[in-house]
Amino acid sequence: MLAKWLTSQTVNIVDSIEDWQTAIQLCAKPLLQNNAISPDYIQAIFKLHESIGPYYVLAPGIAMPHARPEQGVNQLGLSMLLVKDGVKFNSEENDPVYLITLLAASDSTSHIEILTQLATLFGTQNDIQTIFNAQTPAQILSVINHY
């Protein structure tokens, strides 16, 4: 299921990144390129972060930035960025974040199956550790293909 959305075009790895905003922009880039989202969606995530904090940092090392469908989603989309050195999102208990998975939901229901599969992945420590240690997108995708 996840392999339909997470592909060699939507999964990237960088050694380090300047800050959380740049991390989100880089993670979102494939979804901008395939028109799943507009630039407004990224700005909506930034505004939410500024007003309520890093609400999308789910667990130690894992973030899933997202906003509302009407805030710039054109179609369902998912992208992933691994930051080898981690990046701070100002989430005291969960920084640094290594894995950023950007979700663009086009309505309130179509992404539920994706969320279920991501929750299973995020809860499987061995697979998350394999992703954290990945050197290539192909290594990440070999884990994603099980979900």
Give the tokens for residue 84: 């080898």
Give the tokens for residue 118: 């991501």
How does strand 62-63 pair with strand 97-104? Answer: parallel
Check 49, 66, 111, 146 and give the catalytic one. 66
CB 24 within 8 Å of CB 72: no
Give the tokens for residue 61: 């090392």
Question: What does the DSSP assignment read for 36-103?
Answer: SB-HHHHHHHHHHHHHH--TTEEETTEE-----GGGTBSS-EEEEEEEEEEE--S-TTTPSEEEEEEE
* 111 catalytic residue (yes or no): no
What positions carry a catalytic annotation?
A: 66
